[in-house]
Homo-oligomer: A and B are copies of this chain.
Amino acid sequence: MSDRFSSPQVRDLGEQGLLERLQRFCPADVVGDDAAVIPGPELGQALVVTTDVLVDGVHFSDRTTSPQDAGWRAVAANLSDLAAMGASPLGITVGLGITGDVAVSWVLALYQGISDCLKQYNTTIVGGDICRSPVISLSITAFGQVSPNRTIKRTAAKVGDAIVVTGIHGASRAGLELLLNPELGKNLTVAERSLLILAHQRPRPRLDVLPILWNILVDASSCLRVAGMDSSDGLADAVLQLCRASGVGATIERSLIPLPPVLNQLASSEQVWDWVLYGGEDFELVLCLPSEPAEALVEQLGESAAVIGYIAPGNEVWLRDSTGVYGDEVLTLSRGFQHF
Question: Please, which residues of chain B bring their CB within 8 A of the CB of A48?
Answer: 35-38
* Residues of B with C-beta under 8 A to A50: 34-36, 93, 127
A225 at the interface (CB under 8 A from B): no
- Stretch from A137-145, A188-196, A267-275, A319-327 contacting the other chain: A137-145
A224 at the interface (CB under 8 A from B): no
| Contact with A133, one of B46, B128, B135, B146 (Cβ below 8 angstroms) | B135
Q: Interface size (A, Cβ < 8 Å)?
A: 76
A90 an interface residue at 8 Å Cβ cutoff?
Answer: yes
Assuming the contacts A40-B41, A53-B133, asked whether A340 and B47 have C-beta atoms less than 8 A apart, the reply is: no
CA distance A57 to B338 in the complex (A): 27
Q: A34-B230, A41-B40, A153-B33 are in contact. Are A49 and B340 (CB under 8 A)?
A: no
Q: Quick check: B43 and A137 within 8 Å, CB to CB? A: no
Partner-binding segment picked from A7-15, A170-178, A249-257, A297-305: A7-15
Please encode chain A, from 84 to 123, with 1 for each CB lying within 8 Å of some chain B CB and 0 for all others. 1101001101111100100000000000000000000000
Residues from chain B with a CB closer than 8 A to the CB of A18 are: 340
Q: Does A180 contact B (CB under 8 A)?
A: no
Is residue A130 contacting chain B, with contact meaning CB distance below 8 A? Answer: yes
Copies of this subunit: 2
Residue of B nearest to A36 (CB): B49
CB contact between A134 and one of B11, B34, B37, B57 (< 8 Å): that residue: B57
**CB-based contact B133/A34 at 8 Å:** no
Answer yes or no: A211 CB below 8 A from chain B CBs: no
Q: In this assembly, does A21 line the interface, its C-beta being within 8 Å of a C-beta of chain B?
A: no
A143–B340 touching, CB < 8 Å:
no
Query: With A14-B340, A139-B95 known to touch, is A35 a contact of B49 (CB < 8 Å)?
Result: yes
Name the distance in Å between A123's Cβ and chain B's nearest Cβ: 13
A14 contacts which chain B residues (CB < 8 A)?
338-340
In the complex, A59 has a CB within 8 A of chain B: yes
Asked if residues B146 and A143 are in contact (CB atoms below 8 Å), the reply is no
Q: Does A168 contact B (CB under 8 A)?
A: no
A228 vs B179: C-alpha distance when bound (angstroms): 50
| CB interface residues, A 20-69, toward B, < 8 Å | 32-41, 43, 45-55, 57-59
Q: A40-B145, A51-B141 are in contact. List 6 more A-B contacts (CB 8 A).
A: A49-B127, A49-B143, A55-B133, A59-B131, A133-B137, A134-B134
When the two chains form their complex, are residues A339 and B130 in contact, meaning their CB atoms are under 8 A apart?
A: yes
Cβ proximity bits A276-312 to B, threshold 8 Å, 1 near / 0 not: 0000000000000000000000000000000000000
Select one of B47, B57, B139, B245 contacting A32, CB under 8 A: B245
Which chain B residues lie closer than 8 Å to A32 at the CB level?
154-155, 245
Whether the pair B38, A40 counts as a contact (CB closer than 8 A) is no
Taking CB atoms, residues of chain B closer than 8 Å to A15 are: 338-340
Known A134-B134, A154-B32; contact A46-B53, beta-carbon cutoff 8 A: no
Nearest-neighbour CB distance to chain B for A84, whole angstroms, equals: 4
> Of B131, B139, B153, which one neighbours A339 at CB under 8 angstroms?
B131
Most buried by B among A34, A46, A146: A34
